[in-house]
Structure 1
Amino acid sequence: MAIKAFQRFEKKFILNEYQYKSLLPILYEYMDPDKYCKNGENYNIYSIYYDTEDNHVIRHSINKPYYKEKLRLRSYKAPIGENDKVFLELKKKINGIVNKRRATLTLKEAERFLEFRERPKSIDYLNNQVLNEIEYYLGNNTVSPKVYISYSRNAFFGKNDNDFRVTFDSNILSRRDNLSLKSGGYGDNILSSKNYLMEVKILGAVPLWLSKALSELEIYNTHFSKYGNEYMSYCLNKTYDIRRQNIC
C-alpha cells in the first residue's frame, strides 16, 4: 500500500458465488495472496469521493469520456484517529489506461489540506509532487465530500509479475451522509450480497491461463463503477421520491 504512482489497464467482471469459488483454486496456482489478506481473510477499504454540487465529476465519468479524473480520500482501517495514515488519491483514466497518483498523509493533514489548502510539511519529493497535482485539481474544480463507499477485498499478485493483480470486492456499501472516515463502513448495498466485483489489473495482456478459466466459467468483461453505480441508484431513488411526493 506504499505505491504512490502507477498506471495500468483495469478489466472488470461480476461473478456469482459459484464462479468465485471455482476461480479461486486456479488463482492460487498462478498467484500469491496479497500480504494484507492475513490467514486467508479479506481486508477493508474505506473511501470518500469528492464531487461538485451538481455531481459533474461522476456524470462526466459515466459518459465514458476519453479522459476523466476523480479525487478520493482513502483508508484501510476504521474507525480512525486524526494521526493515522490515509491516502489522498487522484485517479485518472485516459483512453482506458488508469493512472493513480497517491499522497500519504495523516487524517488531520488530509482534512486541513482539503478544507483550507494547508500544505503538510514533507521532505518526500513524490508526495509533494502528488500534492501539487491535487492542489491544481482543487483550484480548477469546486469539489467537496459527496459519497462514502466501503467494501471488503480479497487480492492476489502474480507469482512472476507483481504488476499483475486480481482483486475481488464484496459487501460494497455506500451513503451520502455522515461523510467521515471515522464513522466506519455502513450504508446501502451497491452490489448483491451474492456477487463479487473482480478487477484484473495489468500492464499488458491478460495471461492465457486466466483467459481460459474465464471462458470456461462463462465470466465476461463488463463495465462497473462503484461510484457510478451508486450515483445511478441515487438518481433512481431521488426520482421515485419526487414522484411519490407529487402523488401525495
Structure 2
Amino acid sequence: MSKDVFQRKEVKYLLTLEQYETIRQGLVGHMQPDMYGRSLIQSVYLDTPDRSIAVRYDGKQVYKEKLRVRRYVPANSNVVPAADCDAVFVELKKKFKGITYKRRVHVNEGVAGALMLADKSYLDALDAFMPARSVLGEPARTAKSVQIASELVATRDRYEGLCPSMLINAVRVAWEPVGASDANIHSEETAGIGDVRITFDESIEYADLQHISREAAAQDFGSCFEAPSHRLLEDGLVLMEVKVLGAYPMWLSELLSSAKAVKSSYTKYGNAVRAHLSGTEAAA
C-alpha cells in the first residue's frame, strides 16, 4: 500500500555525471534501487493565472506550498496508460522551516480534474468518476483519505481560478536502504536516522500548460500529461534529492563529502516557470 503522509527533510544536490557515478557506486551495500526501477515521473503543477504559488517559491519564505497531480509511468514503455489505468496522486506539498510535509490521495484523472478544477467535493468527485468497488475506489473512501482530501480542498479554495500551470517530466531512479521492503523500515513506528531515501532525476523537461483552460482540463485531465515538452536541466547534470527524517547516516555524509556534492536550491517548477518566461529551453 502506498504511503500517503510524509514528514521529512528533502535536500537537493545538482551533480555532474562523474559525481553521480561516484555516489551511485558508494550507495551499493547500503542502499538499492526500489522495486519500481527507472520510472517516468510526470507532475502537473496547479497555480493561479498569475502563478502566485510559483512566485512564492522564488523567495525565502518560511512557509511554502505546492499543489500538483502526479503519475508514474515505466520509463522503458512508450505506451500511454489506458483509460482504466489512469491512476494519479493529488498532492499537497508544504515546506515549513526546512521540513517538508506531503499529503496525497490516490485517485484517477477524472477525480483529480473534478476535485481540483471543477470545485467539486471529494465524495462527489469519487461518486462521479470512481466506482466504490474499483481497485482505487475503496482505499480512496477511507477516513484517512477523506481527511487528506479535506486539506487539499481547503488549500484549493484559497486560490482563485486554480488551473494547470506547468508539466514537469523526469526520469527517476529511487534508492532505498537494503532490505527496506522486507523490513518495512519506512513505517511511522520505525522512522529515524536509518529512514533514508534518495532519488536521482535525469532528462528533466517542462511544458507550459496555461494554454489549456481550467474547464478543458477538468473534463480531460489526461491531456495535461501529453503536452510537448522542452529540456529544462542541461545534459550532463543529475538532480539528486536526499529524503530523511533525522540526521544523515555517517557513511552518507562521508560519501557526499568525497564526491564534493554541494547542496542546491534548485526547484523544478520554479525553474520551469523562469525558463518559459525567459524563452530558454535549458537551465542549470
Aligned partner letter, 2:118: F
Aligned partner letter, 1:100: K
Is this contact kept in 2: 1:75–1:181, CA < 8 A?
Answer: no
Instruction: Report the 3-state secondary structure (helix = DSSP H, G, I; strand = E; otherwise coil) of the residue aligned with 2:18.
Output: helix
Match of residue 140, structure 1, among 158, 174, 183: 158
> Please, what TM-score do these two structures have when normalized by structure 2?
0.77
Deviation string 1:18-71 (CA, Å, 9 cap, x unpaired) is 11112112112201211101xxxx111011001111111010111021111110
Q: How does 1:207-246 map to 2 (within 5 A)?
A: 207-237=249-279
- Displacement after TM superposition at 1:148 (Å): 0.6
Provide the residue aligned with 1:245 in structure 2. Answer: none
Is this contact kept in 2: 1:82–1:108, CA < 8 A?
Answer: no
Q: Distance in 1 between matches of 2:252 and 2:17?
A: 18
Give the number of aligned pairs.
Answer: 234
Match of residue 54, structure 1, among 50, 69, 73: 50
Aligned partner letter, 1:16: T
| Range 60-69 or range 165-174, more displaced | 60-69
Provide the residue aligned with 2:238 in structure 1. Answer: 196
Match of residue 196, structure 2, among 159, 164, 168: 164
Q: How does 1:16-165 map to 2 (within 5 A)?
A: 16-37=16-37, 42-77=38-73, 79-83=80-84, 84-118=86-120, 119=122, 120-121=126-127, 122-142=140-160, 143-159=162-178, 161-162=185-186, 163-165=195-197
Is this contact kept in 1: 2:208–2:276, CA < 8 A?
Answer: no
Instruction: Report the 3-state secondary structure (helix = DSSP H, G, I; strand = E; otherwise coil) of the residue aligned with 1:8.
Output: strand
**2:6 aligned with 1:6, yes or no?**
yes
Q: Percent identity?
A: 32
Q: Distance in 2 between matches of 1:6 and 1:217?
A: 28
Instruction: Report the 3-state secondary structure (helix = DSSP H, G, I; strand = E; otherwise coil) of the residue aligned with 2:28.
Output: helix
Q: Distance in 2 between matches of 1:196 and 1:25?
A: 15
Aligned partner letter, 2:167: Y
Aligned partner letter, 1:95: K
- Displacement after TM superposition at 1:81 (Å): 3.9
| Range 132-141 or range 186-195, more displaced | 186-195
Provide the residue aligned with 2:248 in structure 1. Answer: 206
Q: Distance in 2 between matches of 1:68 and 1:82?
A: 34
Is this contact kept in 2: 1:79–1:184, CA < 8 A?
Answer: no
Deviation string 1:79-127 (CA, Å, 9 cap, x unpaired) is 2344421100000001110000001111111112223233314531111
Show structure 1 runs of 5+ residues with no match. 239-248
> Aligned pair in 2 of structure 1 residues 186, 135: CA closer, same or farther (>3 Å)?
same
Q: Distance in 1 between matches of 2:32 and 2:227?
A: 27
Aligned partner letter, 2:164: P
Instruction: Report the 3-state secondary structure (helix = DSSP H, G, I; strand = E; otherwise coil) of the residue aligned with 2:60.
Output: coil
- Displacement after TM superposition at 1:175 (Å): 0.8
Is this contact kept in 2: 1:80–1:181, CA < 8 A?
Answer: no
> Aligned pair in 2 of structure 1 residues 157, 185: CA closer, same or farther (>3 Å)?
farther
Is this contact kept in 1: 2:5–2:102, CA < 8 A?
Answer: yes
Aligned partner letter, 1:34: D
> Please, what TM-score do these two structures have when normalized by structure 1?
0.88
Show structure 2 runs of 5+ residues with no match. 74-78, 128-139, 187-194, 213-220
Instruction: Report the 3-state secondary structure (helix = DSSP H, G, I; strand = E; otherwise coil) of the residue aligned with 1:20.
Output: helix
